[in-house]
Structure 1
């Protein structure tokens, strides 16, 4: 559970690091599962940045009984999201972002709510929880945020390569007024990001990959106004924190054969990411 000081810091800064939320054994399970997941990599879609660099990501709406579902439905992670959003949350979508060595493209300045708003979510009662699969550093294109920029409110977004980027007439003065923070973190750390915080990432110019698992949560009371390819409210079936180490998904009635990944390129979706 988060302390009152941590919750206050999140609301003041627009983000929060929770270091070592998952231990080395849990991290190894996630790393091994992701790196061996051919279905995930086969379903990855490409997103070009403004200069033509390419990043890949795989997206799904509903957590099934697999290793990713055990993380996104874990008691400790969902409880933190509920503390920060002050009430029940549900799984809006998850994604694995694949920023490969030397070729992984940049993500332009954006807010997640800049496009979730267009999906019918009336209020910015949403956040992302990012878990590093590989360590995130400046060299391999870690996330950059503008501290406190969530207080600006939603900024209009438009096309930037294959992505949606925030209006630079707003971003440029924000860069002058808000501290730029490089978000370096290790596997096991969780980074909680307010949906209105401006963020970007640079290209990966290093020989090391940067894969990240990102879970988006929406407040249950913020159920979208209309149907969209991202999920409406479905109660989370939470699992105990022991589920990952116990490989609980191997003991469950399998539902992982359900159609999972969203081929968003077929929908013309140019949603940006981290």
Structure 2
């Protein structure tokens, strides 16, 4: 299954700054990801929190290199990488992935921001990057689904400043943008994927519900957009793509007890990503 984006969908992405691909991953695939993440002590131990300035804390785990395990199978699968290549009009490489752990009753909010608002400081010269938000749990208004401002990527990079422990976009400017562009709550079922532009304004509310809202986000940069300096996230590194069938194959191996060479996190390669924990 590698349908890619149609010309119409790609045009809508360029216009709106995002595209929602429903049921991109089937129930078996997303259940392998959900079970792997929620039973993964290493993922939990690697997580760190960011205060949202509203009394809540966002918990996440972040890594730079996709690895050989189930998380890498998703980040390297042809389904995601081919779509990223269409969107970027260039060879994509894995910039980083993260698991957002918005737990029931305690999951914090994300302030309005643009991903390029962060990545600009990493030596990335243009916003030609794409994030792929994979819903692991149902994502609803009640448990703090992603919100976007349609077309806001056309406004260019906005100044960001600290909101709690997060860098948020200048609220005066966000307020004016919201008067002219549509504000959307993106509700998603497990297996849905939202592709969105690095300059798209997005946020999420705290999770006040009884239901968790975990999601995995795979971020890709264009080869021609290789950062000019070293930072927390990698410079151009060729991506070893996998066929879509690898997700179920690796997932089955994950729970068979045979996890040789399946570790998702290589401590030596993730030194820069771990620096983000120390800065948290």
TM-score for the superposition, normalised by structure 1: 0.94
Match of residue 33 from structure 1? 36
Q: In the alignment, is residue 52 of structure 1 matched against residue 60 of structure 2? A: no
SS at match of 1:263: helix
SS at match of 2:218: strand
Q: Tell me: CA distance 1:35–1:248, structure 2 relative to 1, closer, same or farther (3 Å).
A: closer
Following the alignment from structure 1 to structure 2, what is the Cα–Cα distance between the partners of residues 124 and 61?
18
Match of residue 115 from structure 1? 118
8 A contact 2:52–2:165 mirrored in 1: yes
Match of residue 272 from structure 1? none
The Cα of 1:76 is off from its aligned counterpart by 1.2
8 A contact 1:65–1:252 mirrored in 2: no
Q: Tell me: CA distance 1:252–1:88, structure 2 relative to 1, closer, same or farther (3 Å).
A: farther
Which residue, 172, 176, 179 being the options, matches 1:176? Answer: 179
Which residue, 36, 41, 46 being the options, matches 1:43? Answer: 46
SS at match of 2:8: helix
Match of residue 261 from structure 2? 254
Following the alignment from structure 1 to structure 2, what is the Cα–Cα distance between the partners of residues 34 and 253?
18
Following the alignment from structure 2 to structure 1, what is the Cα–Cα distance between the partners of residues 162 and 98?
21
Which residue, 219, 241, 245 being the options, matches 2:244? Answer: 241
Which residue, 249, 274, 278 being the options, matches 1:263? Answer: 274
Following the alignment from structure 1 to structure 2, what is the Cα–Cα distance between the partners of residues 53 and 187?
24
SS at match of 1:244: helix
The Cα of 1:248 is off from its aligned counterpart by 7.2
The Cα of 1:210 is off from its aligned counterpart by 0.4
Map 1:75-224 onto structure 2 (within 5 A). 75-224=78-227
Q: Cα RMSD between the aligned structures?
A: 1.6
Following the alignment from structure 1 to structure 2, what is the Cα–Cα distance between the partners of residues 123 and 43?
30
TM-score for the superposition, normalised by structure 2: 0.92
The Cα of 1:263 is off from its aligned counterpart by 2.7
8 A contact 1:26–1:244 mirrored in 2: yes
Following the alignment from structure 1 to structure 2, what is the Cα–Cα distance between the partners of residues 118 and 46?
21
Q: How many residues align?
A: 269
Match of residue 7 from structure 2? 4
The Cα of 1:115 is off from its aligned counterpart by 1.0
Which residue, 57, 62, 66 being the options, matches 2:65? Answer: 62
